[in-house]
Structure 1
Amino acid sequence: MALIEDYAMLGDLQTAALVSRTGGIDWLCLPRFDSPACFAALLDDEEAGTWQLAPRGGGPATRRAYRGDSLVLDSEWDTPEGTVRVTDLMPPRGANADVVRVVEGVSGRVPMRMTLRVRFGYGAVRPWLRREDGRLVAVAGPDAVWLRTPVDLDARHDERHTAAHAEFTVAEGDRVPFVLTYRPSHLGAPEPVEAEDALRDTEKYWADWISRCRYDGRWGEAVRRALVTLKALTYAPTGGILAAPTTSLPEQLGGSRNWDYRYCWLRDATFTLQALLETGYVDEARAWREWLVRAVAGDPGDLQVVYGLDGTRHLPERTLDHLTGYEKSTPVRVGNGAVDQLQLDVLGEVLTGLHLCRESGVTATDTAWQVQRELMDHLEGNWQLPDNSLWEFRGRRQHFVHSKVTMWSGVDRAVRAVETHGLPGPVDRWRRLRDTIHAEVCERGYDAERGTFTQFYGSTELDAALLLVPRVGFLPWRDERVLGTVDAIRADLVRDGLIERYEGDGLPG
C-alpha cells in the first residue's frame, strides 16, 4: 500500500484505477465507479487485489508524468541494469473496460516482474483461473477479467495462492504489452484489444478534448490538469458527475470518518459544472442537466443530496469488515447514509446550476424550467426549516447560515430567469422571498459584537462555508460583514496554513 498522495489516476469515463509509484494498480472497480472493487489493496494489503508491474528489484519509479494533458501515465525506473518505462492507460470505453500497460526498454536490459491478483467483491472473492485461447481468464460469479500478453504466465490457483506471475527481461527498444479486459462472465471471451492502437486512440481522445478549453490565464497547466481530472470523474453514459473514485480513504489516519464518495452529490456536481462552463465545456453541462432532470424527477420534496451515477436513489450504507482499511483506518464503508439527510442548501445549488447552464448557452428546455419551478415551490415552503448543512452533520439539525444563503442564491437566480430570459413565474413573490431570507440571515446569523457571520443562528461558532457568502452574491466582497467574517475565520480556523471546516461536530478526530 502506498501513500494516498503517491497514487496516479487512470480513467475511461466510466471507472478509474489508481496506480502507485511502485507500479501497483491497487484500486479498480469494474465495470463502473460504484461497482465492487477487483483491486482493493488500497484498503488492505495485496491479498485484497492488486496488479503489480515493475522492475524485479522493486522500489518507486525514478520519475513519472502524464503525457501532456491526458490520462496516459509514463513511469520510468533507472536500475543498475538499465532504464525501463511502463505506460499505463484506460482507453475510452468501447464494448468492454480495458486497462492497458506497455513495458518499454529505454536502455540496457532490465529484468521485470508482473503479479496479478484479482479479487472480486472488494477483495472477498478469489476467482477461478484458467487459460483460454492464449489468454488468462479469472472468473467468479457474474464477473470475469481477461489478461492478454505475449509473456509466459505462471498461474497458481489453490487455497493459499490465486495469482498470475511473470518474469521477463526488456532490452532497449522492446515493447511488451499487457491488456486486462473486464466482461460479464456469461458473455464469453472479449474481442482482443491491440495495446498500441489503444494508446494512440487514448492520446488522441484527450488531445481533442482539451483543445476545446477556453482558459487563457495564469497556471494554465494546473488548470488543464484539473479539468482533465474533473472530466475523468464524469460518468459518460448518463452525464452524472461523481465526487471521487474511491471509498473509505480516512480524513484522519486511524479515525472513523471514512465515507464512500463514488456517487453524485448535487452540490459537488454544481461546483464542477461551474468550472467546466467557465472554461468552455458546454456539452458536459448539457449532459449534467439532463442527468439532473431525470434524477430529481417526481416530487421535489423527495430531493436528495446524493444520487447514484444513473440517478439511483437507494444507496444503503454498510461496512466491509473483512478489510482492515487504509493504514488500519476502519470502518470501510460502501453506500452513504447522507442520502437520508436534509441539506437545504442543495435546493439553492441545483437552482444555481440550472441558471448557469442557461446563462452559458445551454439550450433551454420546458422540462428544465418546470423542474426549477417545482424546486422553487418546495424551497418557499421549507426554507425556514433547520437542516444538516453541507458538512452532513449527523446530529441535531440547526438553522445553518450557509444553507440559508445558498437558498437565497437559488431564489435570486429564479428571479433573474424571469427578468432576463422572460420565463414565466411569480417574480414579485420570489423577490419578496429573496428579501425576507436576506433580512433574516443578516439579523439572526450575524454576530454584531464579533463582527462575523456564525455557523448557525444563535451560535458563536464559525464555519469555513461562510467564505462563500460573497461568492454567491449575497453581499459584496468589500462589505464590512464579509471582511469581518474573513478575519474571524483567519484567526480561529486556520491551522498550519490550511482552513479547518469548523471547530467540532461531536465525532472523534
Structure 2
Amino acid sequence: MKHSLDLALIGNCQIGALIDTQAEIVWYCLPRFDGDPVFCSLLQEHEPGEGVGYCSIELMDQVASEQDYLPNSAVLVTRMTDSRGGVVEITDFAPRFRQYGRIFTPIMLVRQVRRLHGTPRIVARVRPARNYGAERGEYTYGSHHVRYVSPYMVLRLSTDASITAILQELPFVLDDEVNLVFGPDETVHENVSELAHRFRNDTIAYWQEWVRDLGIPYEWQDEVIRAAITLKLNAFEDTGAIAAALTTSIPEAPDSGRNWDYRYCWLRDSYFVVNALNRLGATKTMERYLRYLVNVVAGSEGGYLQPVYGIDGSSNLEEKEMPSLPGYRGMGPVRVGNQACLQVQHDVYGSAVLAVTHVFFDHRLMQRGDLPLFQRLEPLGEMAIQVHDQPDAGLWELRGSRRVHTFSSIMCWAACDRLGRIAVRLGLKERAAYWEAQAQRIHETVCRRGWNEEKKSFTAAFEGDSLDASLLLMHDVGFLAADDPRFASTVAAIERELRRGDYIFRYVEDDDFGTPKNAFIVCTYWYIYALVALGRTEEARRLFENLLARHNRHGLMAEHVDVATGEQWGNFVQTYSMVGLINAAIRLSKRWDTAF
C-alpha cells in the first residue's frame, strides 16, 4: 500500500493521530507527540491484512469511501460503502472538553463504528508496534478489553466488540455499532458505548465553542478555521509548546535524505506562531505558548539559546537513526531526535524577543510583562550584539557550512529594537537609549555588508551574491519600510532567482544534500506578505488561491510541495505552513465592514 499525505489529523493537545482515507490510523505516538509510535505504518508500508503498527477498520467488498471533519471540530468521519449497498460510518476523535473546572485531555483515542445501511461485514485489525516498529507488543485480555504491553507503557483497548473477533481479526456483520476506546491501563467503569457517545458530544461542543471565539477574516473562513484547529492540535497542553509537526522523517523530496524529526519546538517559528494566534484572538493558546518561551529564556545560561527544544523544554535532542522503520514509501532513514539542537543559529534571539514582546503590550493577557522579565530578556539582546556579525548555520540549519547570514543579523537587530521599545514602555529611559543605539549600529552593519549593489538586493550572507527567501521578511519584522526602494528591489531579485512557477524556493544553491528539489511552502506565503506590503494585492491573491489548491482534501499542508505536480512532501501537518495560511488570509481578506 503506497502512502500519501492525504491524511487527517485528530488529537487533543496531549496526543495526535494521523488517519488515511480508508480510516487506517497510520501514525499515533504515546504517551505524547514525541513518544514511541504504536501505530507507525506511515513509515512502514504493508499489504492489506499484513504487517504491524496500525489500526484499521476494513469493510469487506468495499467499493467507495468519503471522509470529512464534522464542522468546526477535530472529529473525523469516514463513510465506506460495499458492493451490496452496505454503508459503515467510522467516527474518530481524541476527547477534549471541560470537566470539573479544567480541560480534560486523556491519553485516549475513540473509534465509533456504526452501520448506516445494509448488512456490512467488517474486520477490525489492531496491531500496535513498539520500539519504532521493531516488534509487535505482547497482549493480555479480559471480557471487554485487551492490554497491549511494551516496556514503555501499556495501551489498553476497551470495547463492546467481540474480543475474539478483535484478537483473531475475524470478519463479522455489523448489526448496529461497536466502539473502540484506546487509552492508558485503567479500567473503564461505565458502559463503553455510553462513554464514547458522551465523550464525542462533549468534544464536538468544545471545539465548536472554541471556534466561535476566534477572530477570523471574512474570506476563506473554512480554510482559516481548519488551519486554526490544526495549529491548536500541534500545541502540547502540558507545557504550552507548539510542535513544528507531529511526524518524523517524511522526506522533503523523494530519496533526498532530508528526513528530520520535527516533533519539537523551534524558536524560529515563535514570532510567526504568536502573530497568528494573536490575529485569531486565540489568547489562551498564545499565552501558554508565551509561558513556554519565557521558561526557555529563564533557563538559558548567559542568554544562549538553541534553535530547537523539546516540547517539555528539554535541550538534549540526541539524533539517531531507527533502522526498524524503512521510512515513508521506503525512503529512509528514519531519524529520532534532531541534531539542530547543537547548531549555532543567531536568528533565535530575535525570534524569542519578538514573540515575548507581546507580553508587554497585549492587555488581554493575564500575566503582563514587567521589569524582572525585561531583565531576563536583556541577556538575549547582549548575545544578539555579540553575534550579529558572526557566522552561523542560518535559518535553514545548514549542517556543512557557516556564513554570516543576513537574516540572522536582521533578527539580531530585531531583538535590540524590541528591547528598546519595551524599555520605553516600562519608562526605562537609559535602557531604551542603549538598546536603540545598539539596534541602529546593527542596522547600519546589515545595510553596509548585506547589500549587493550589483544585484540591487540584500543577499543571503554578508559580502555574498546568493539570495535567500527569508529576506522577504525584512518589512514584516520592521527592518525596512514598504516604500524603501531596497525592499522592492530585493523582492524583485528574489522573483528572478528563487521563483519557480507560482512558488518561491528558500534558496537554490547546493547545500549539504545537493540542490533543493521542492519548494518550502511557507516561503511562498512570505512572498505573499511582501506583495501585499508593496500593494500588489491581486498577484498575492492569485498565489494564495494556488496554495489553497495544493492543500489535501482536509485543508492540511506539509512542509514542501513539488512545483511540477503539486504533491506534498515533508513532515505533516506543518505548523509553519498552517500559520502562513492564517497570516496571509487575514492580510488579503476583505474587511467585514466592507464585505456586504
Q: What TM-score results when the alignment is normalised by the length of structure 2?
A: 0.80
Identity of aligned residues (%): 33
1:375 corresponds, among 375, 380, 384, to: 380
Give how far 1:80 is off: 2.2
Q: Per-residue deviation at 1:215?
A: 2.0
Change (3 A) 1:2 1:422: farther
The aligned runs of 1:45-444 (5 Å cut-off) are 45-46=45-46, 47-58=51-62, 62-81=65-84, 82-92=86-96, 94=104, 96-154=106-164, 165-170=169-174, 174-183=176-185, 189=187, 191=189, 194-296=195-297, 297-361=299-363, 362=365, 363-423=368-428, 426-444=431-449
Higher relative contact order (CA 8 A, sep 6+): 2
Deviation at 1:358, TM superposition (A): 2.5
Give the 3 Å change call, closer, same or farther, for CA 427–365 of structure 1 in structure 2. Answer: closer
**Hey, what does 1:13 align to over in structure 2?**
13
CA, structure 1 residues 94+222, in 2 after alignment: closer, same or farther (shift >3 Å)? Answer: same
Contact 2:60/2:82 (<8 A) preserved:
no
Residue 159 of structure 1 is matched in structure 2 by: none
Q: Give, in whole Å, the separation in 2 of the partners of 1:403 and 1:108.
A: 62
- Report the 3-state secondary structure (helix = DSSP H, G, I; strand = E; otherwise coil) of the residue aligned with 1:4: coil
Task: Describe the SS at the equivalent of 1:5.
Answer: coil
- Contact 2:304–2:380 (8 Å) recurs in 1: no
Q: Distance in 2 between matches of 1:478 and 1:167?
A: 68
Indicate how the Cα distance of structure 1 residues 302 and 450 shifts in structure 2: closer, same or farther if over 3 A, else same.
closer
Alpha carbons 2:112, 2:179 under 8 Å: kept: yes
- Between 1:3-12 and 1:22-31, the stretch displaced more is 3-12
Deviation at 1:58, TM superposition (A): 4.5
> What's the CA shift for 1:189?
4.0
Letter in 2 for 1:508: G
Distance, in Å, in 2 between the alignment partners of 1:329 and 1:249 is 8
Letter paired with 2:389:
Q
- After superposition, the CA RMSD in angstroms is 2.0
Name the CA distance, whole Å, in 2 between partners of 1:202 and 1:238.
Answer: 21
Report deviation, 1:76. Answer: 1.2
CA distance in structure 2 between the partners assigned to 1:397 and 1:100 by the alignment: 48
Q: Which has the higher strand share?
A: 1
Q: How far has the Cα of 1:465 moved from its partner?
A: 0.7
Letter of the 2:325 partner, please give it: L
2:42 corresponds in structure 1 to 42
Q: Which amino acid aligns with 1:24?
A: E
Supply the distance in 1 between the matched residues of 2:261 and 2:429 (Cα, whole angstroms).
Answer: 40
Amino acid of the residue matched to residue 111 of structure 2? R
CA contact (8 A) 1:129 1:155 kept: no
Deviates more, 1:102-111 or 1:233-242: 102-111
Secondary structure in 2 aligned to 1:426?
A: helix
Structure 1 counterpart SS, 2:445 = helix
Once the two structures are TM-superposed, the CA of residue 95 in structure 1 deviates from its matched residue by 7.4
SS of aligned partner of 2:379: helix
Distance 1:493 1:3, change over 3 A: farther
Equivalenced residue count is 496
String of CA shifts for 1:266-306, please: whole Å, max 9, x gaps.
Answer: 12133211100111122222212221222232414431111
Alpha-carbon distance between aligned partners in 2 of 1:130 and 1:337, rounded to the nearest angstrom: 39
Q: Show the counterpart of 2:476.
A: 471
**Displacement of 1:133:** 4.2
Deviation for aligned residue 1:367: 4.1
CA distance, structure 1, for counterparts of residue 108 and residue 157 of structure 2? 10
Cα separation, partners in 2 of 1:189 and 1:357, compared to 1, 3 Å: same
Report the CA distance between 1:22 and its aligned residue.
1.3
Amino acid in structure 2 at the alignment position of 1:75: T
Q: Are residues 386 and 426 of structure 1, via their aligned partners in 2, closer, same or farther at CA, if it must alter by over 3 Å? A: same
Q: Secondary structure at the match of 1:87?
A: strand
SS for the counterpart of 2:123 is strand
Q: By how many angstroms is 1:88 displaced?
A: 0.6
Instruction: Measure how far apart 1:176 and its partner are.
Output: 2.1
* Structure 1 residue identity aligned to 2:139: L
Instruction: Give the secondary-structure state (helix, strand or coil) at the position aligned to 1:207.
Output: helix
- Closer, same or farther: CA 233–2 of 1 in aligned 2, 3 Å: farther
Amino acid at match of 2:156: W
**Structure 1: gaps of 5 or more residues:** 157-162
Q: In 1, are the aligned partners of 2:406 and 2:460 still within 8 Å (CA)?
A: yes
Q: Distance in 1 between matches of 2:232 and 2:469?
A: 27
Moved more, 366-375 or 440-449: 366-375
Q: CA separation of 1:84/1:202 partners in 2, compared to 1, >3 Å: closer, same or farther?
A: same
Deviation per CA, 1:387-446, whole angstroms, max 9, x where unpaired?
A: 111100012211111111111122111111122342576222211111111111111111
Q: After superposing the two structures, state which structure 1 stretch, 359-368 or 23-32, moved more.
A: 359-368
Query: What's 2:30 paired with?
Result: 30
| SS of corresponding position for 2:315 | coil
Structure 1 133/365 Cα, relative in aligned 2: closer, same or farther at 3 Å?
farther
In 2, the alpha carbon distance for the partners of 1:331 and 1:204 equals 41
Question: What runs of 5+ residues in structure 2 fail to find an aligned partner?
Answer: 97-102, 516-596
Moved more, 423-432 or 315-324: 423-432
Normalization by structure 1: what TM-score? Answer: 0.93
Q: CA deviation at 1:191?
A: 4.9
Q: Give the distance between the partners of 1:283 and 1:209, measured in 2 at CA.
A: 11
